[in-house]
Chains A and B, each alone.
Chain A
Amino acid sequence: MAGSQSSLREANRARVVDAVKKHGGLTQVELAGAAGLSAATVSAIVKELVAAEIAEVRSTVRSGRRAQLVTLAHRVGLVAGVVVGYRHLRVALADVSHEVLAEQVLPLPADHRSDTSLDRVALLIVDLVERVGADLDELLGIGLGVPAPVDPATGMVSVRGVLRGWDSVQISQVLEKRLARPVFVDNDANLGALAESTLGAGRELRDLLYVNVSQGVGAGLVLNGRVHRGADGTAGEIGHVQVDPAGRICACGSRGCLETVVGCPALLEPLLPSYGNLTLRDVVRLANQEDPGCREIVADAGATVGGVVAALATGLGPQRVVVGGDLAETGEVFLGPLREALRRRTLLSQAGGPDVVPAALGLRAELMGAIALALASTDLFERPDSTDDEGAGR
């Protein structure tokens, strides 16, 4: 205890910053409750944080009373990251240093419609902007990921049938019309690759493969430090590589695609008679609890994906394979067999070939990538400061 006055102060400061981060924006009174500190302490710490330009304070109204809303500083502007998954929608707001200020997940029904889901994206972004006490014109841009190849020229899904109900939807136009902010669309695995190569497990590397195995399977390629999208944005669509010539017909029209073998419905089907109705998350949780049946399913999927990744790695020679998505949450249960398949089927250089590591950003890789895409696509200095109103906004 002795001599801990300054470290106590440090710890209190950290508690206040953490509480603001978790809730997006809090009034000083709420902050005292959330951080478990006295109002006076919070007030002093907030003053310090404002002076250090870490936090901002503005007047607001809570239940009819005037109050001071504390948020993290975001004077340069905000960006939104959106990931539309098969069964979840994730939206986050971040400042220009990739620091997430507010985040929300919304579970979605199977085969959700593009009109309903894009409407919800727009409403969620407005909600989150409000939560951090900001204004929609502080939003510099929106990055959005979908689980399908996206044509970089049009921002539309470029292969028909792989994402039901999203063919020929002009995703960015729909949202730009609603929010009047620029929208940038990309494939979700490309976003994961972007995030892992700039913020995650591939920071120092020039060539890397990112593989995401969740409800579906996809890969993003980083070649010579840049995300490689290929013609029509179809690069890395390993979900549609044939692994079973006598297999089932895939949504894309071919037979025996990887997705028909390790995609979510195919993965859950063998468990149905003995386990009843499971979700992918149940399988991951049970595998982590050493359930033998679920581990078997996950390990087999790892080996199958490893075979396809091996072919891709032989073609591209990446330094590292980063694995994300739900199945990667089982750790070595999935990664072990994947690594083994890769080792058996690729040319081993003297250095030992690419290593296989889990995504450093975990399940948030795609979301962080959407934020990174929005930041990379908008020019921060073109915009006027939020305090003056010169210069035309979009």
Chain B
Amino acid sequence: MLKPLLLSLALLATPQLAAPLWAVQPDEVLSDPVLEARARELGKVLRCPVCQGENIDESNATISRDLRLVVRERLVAGDADWQVLDYITARYGEYVLFEPEARGVNLILYLTGPVALLLALGGATVFLRRRRKGDAAAPKLDDAEARRVAEILQE
């Protein structure tokens, strides 16, 4: 059912290739503001597959327009947000997700910050504690020094 739709969209888009398409176009906007708002949120986490680091909402590429339309198509069909993302990643790969799934090796990416923070805080605490103890222990005066200090204080 979707194939003919995409095809017709591709055909529709072809004559416009000469003029660039500027991000989200007026004719793409859904009439239901709630669905449109969800589409815009999804558009922000999907990467344009052919551009350099733009999301599909910002991108001017034809394929981004197609993806925006697919997102809206799925939303109108009643998909939940995650179903839309699954649908698109199944076809374009995880490359199009700007926020990689927090599973498997990607956990390294997600846990670096919290783990580094805990290590740093722990390390700093231990360092400060040990230094205080060391300082408390180090400047012990021997008897001669103590006597000299007492002399100076009396002068």
Partners in one complex: no
